[in-house]
Amino acid sequence: MANFSRLLNFSSSCSTLPCMAMAFFNPIHTANPAIAFTTLEMPTSEGISPFLSSFCSTLLLAASLLFILWKKRAKPLALPPGPNPWPIVGSLPGLLFTKKLAFRSIHKMMDDMNAEIICINLWGVHVIPVTSPQIAVDFLKRNDAVFSSRPDVLSADITSRGYLTTALTPGGEQWKKMKRVLASEVLSAQRHRWLQGKRTEEADHLIGFVYNQSMDSTTGGVVNVRVAAQHYCGNVIRKMVFGKRFFGNGRADGGPGVEEEEHVSALFKILAYLYSFCVSDYLPCLRRRLDLDGHEKIIRTATASVAKYQDPEIDERIRHWTEGTRTEQDDLLDILIGLKQKDGSPLLSPDEIKAQLVELMLATVDNPSNAVEWALAEMINQPTLLERATEELDRVVGRNRLVQESDLSQLNYVKSCVKESFRLHPIAPFNVPHISTADTTIAGYFIPKGSHVLLSRLGLGRNPRVWDEPLQFRPERHLKRDGSAVMLTDPDLKMLSFSIGRRGCPGVTLGSTLTTMLMARLLQGFSWELPPTMSKIELKESAKDLFLAEPLHAKARPRSFLSFLFQTHRIPPPLKMANPVKMGDS
């Protein structure tokens, strides 16, 4: 990798010096202006002394020579520092044959080099990881237009059905079209309010499902929090899109059935391989010829599993609207089908609808469920945090009703717990990559056109230059001194919960609502503690991703007011369990 060098300090002045000198020393007007510019006619001795004439000529010649030498020898700004690449292949072999996952290898490189931005050459593609908030702002705010596109990679191509969607699609007319649809028709404030009833219904169902789990004596009331959280997120987005919770019948206790388990599992499989390190992304000649690392097969299998459940629903709904047997809009699928062009024809093709709904599912199931699982694990290990969050809920909401979306703005400590989980335990090591559409300069470094920019969620959130005790879970760090509302986003990019800029996440409101509601309902409805066989939750990351190494299992005790809410039908009563256990009195 080229060493860092800067342009000479006098570069800007030298570039104009010859012309300035000619203008100064050639006041004689000629009939041909071109000759006046290219031919230096020095004044005669009648107008200027021979010594001054000779001095000016020498000065002009020296300035011209300096300019020519500078143009030939001055080096451009260097790329960011990085590992020394092999000829042609760059650092590709190092990432291929390392025992570490690619994202862990990249972060280790940055730690070893003590650098917040580096450049890794992968067969001529410059990959630029970033862990500095200031540099991240340079990319996503000051130079947003240059970095608002996406790289062409196999996993994104397959998932988006040939780039028919919003988040995964490179810049262009298709991206602009789908972005308008998403912003104005799917994720607008008006649409968010329109779908509130469906979200509330699933939040109530969550309480019933966890209650059933907590009352099961065969498990001692121990709940698999990962299943509950992912189940909730899957239910919410299916209800918003398809108007129903289950593709099949679900389980007797209100949990996901085989169909829902396969659906959510396939979504997480896609997420695991979407934009993951894949050799064919850097060797386009191998794409669709050799599946060297097996990623293509995995992605195609997972997308087929998702399509198996979603596509028939979409096709049937389109048919109902075409035949006139459905006339009322009830969910997002109805909205997308009903969009029209000026001539009355459908705005979106069936493939565009199918692809965009997969992307919407992917964006909804992962971040909220992962953040809440990690947050609850951290808080069980620090019971005082659980107590403080529960006290806030009791103070703001009371104990005669369940928390609603209208309460969330006042739950600053609960939101701080969620935000701290986003910071310390991001769902993915990097944000979705950006690609530079032109040569540019960032933080004094040359960033060539075609570079893949990876803003590190992991590195930003755990940057010791930014955060005190970055590896400690401390929700209070996000509370405002003036008591103002805590937002789950960070405009200064000290952490990346939701992206910003032209490629910013259009679902910030939905994502923030789902995550905070999930956290609030679990804390308000139940007291959480370690299972009898454990003395502490092991806060260890999985070897293959950033999830908890083992799904969080915790004992849930229903708080006493839940029984009152069930009996008075303020929330739907849960199914009766065959092996109930006694409720707690908290």
Which residue segments constitute the domains of the chain, with CATH numbers given?
A: 11-73 (no CATH), 173-567 (1.10.630.10)
Q: What is the mean pLDDT of residues 244-272?
A: 95
Q: How far apart (Å, rounded) are the C-alpha atoms in residues 23 and 32?
A: 15
Which pLDDT band holds residue 94 (cuts at 50, 70, 90)? confident
Q: Is 124 exposed, middle or buried (0-12, 13-18, 19+ CB in 10 A)?
A: middle
Name the token pair of 235: 């239910």
Confidence at residue 142, expressed as pLDDT on a 0 to 100 scale: 93
Confidence at residue 575, expressed as pLDDT on a 0 to 100 scale: 64
What percent of the residues of the chain are helix, what percent strand, and what percent coil, each to the nearest 5?
50, 10, 45
Confidence at residue 49, expressed as pLDDT on a 0 to 100 scale: 58
Which residue matches tokens 């909730």? Answer: 232
pLDDT over 70 (residue 31) = no
pLDDT over 60 (residue 245) = yes
Helix pair 196-214, 225-242: axis angle to 10 deg: 150
pLDDT 10s digits, 424-481: 999 999 999 999 999 999 999 999 999 999 999 999 999 999 999 999 999 999 999 9
The 3-state DSSP class for residue 375 equals helix
pLDDT over 50 (residue 405) = yes
User: Does 285 appear as a known binding residue?
Assistant: no
What is the reported pTM?
0.85
